[in-house]
Structure 1
């Protein structure tokens, strides 16, 4: 991974499932409740903290892409939703957004 570049895709693990912390905000920005909410794949970017670009299955054939920022531990380690893309499919690649 290049400095400032994104990593390769990886399967979501327990740490990435912490995107549950931003579910309410994601639903609010999307304008609807999600019947399911399971992270599937992700990319990460090291900056002054970490940006995560996460593919989340939200029910049926629908996915959303989340952009989540995690502050450095010395800055509180807070996890914040920075952006969301809705109406995605399982095979749409996650791009920087």
Structure 2
């Protein structure tokens, strides 16, 4: 279910999303100067605006680092506009104990975002976005927030400037994850 002004959870690609992906394939290939034999939508997020934004993870079948994402805007008349094509690569998995800031600094932000209180908030592991803005790092952090429940983990997207006063900011989160779920890029 889309959330007004925010991005949805990551969802498996649907037939409708594959149709959108097919319709922007040629333009995407032209934009990044590549030809793909396979261009299959794997998962997506959507954002309600004056229309709909889509961030679609695409399997391209090529031996490339990271994952290919197409970002598409669909206006209220259903006209599509390819807004971006990006190759996203995340770092190797790291233990959350090596984060350069305490998770307590973002726990309240996560509780405010979800409207829930978490008795447990324990970092498990994380990845960082390898394509970075100089002086700024984006972290994707898996956090345990419950005990004994199968879906008792969150994945947090946190931005943090590399300054003397590190102030991590929660930019989004994905709920209902398990310990075994992979950490992947999301808006």
TM-score of the aligned structures, taking structure 2 as reference length: 0.45
CA distance 1:91–1:38, change in 2 (3 Å)? farther
Count residues with an aligned counterpart: 92
Is 1:71 the counterpart of 2:163 in the alignment?
Answer: no
Flag structure 1 segments of 5+ consecutive residues without an equivalent: none
Q: Which has the higher contact order (CA 8 A, sep 6+)?
A: 1
CA contact (8 A) 1:65 1:88 kept: no
Is 1:16 the counterpart of 2:30 in the alignment?
Answer: no
Q: Equivalent residues in 2 for 1:47-62 (5 A)?
A: 47-62=49-64
Query: Which secondary structure does the structure 1 equivalent of 2:15 belong to?
Result: coil
TM-score of the aligned structures, taking structure 1 as reference length: 0.83
CA distance 1:91–1:36, change in 2 (3 Å)? farther
Offset, 1:79: 1.2
Map of 1:28 onto structure 2 = 30
RMSD across aligned positions (CA): 2.1
Runs of 4+ in 1 over 3 A off after TM superposition: 60-63, 87-92
Flag structure 2 segments of 5+ consecutive residues without an equivalent: 91-181
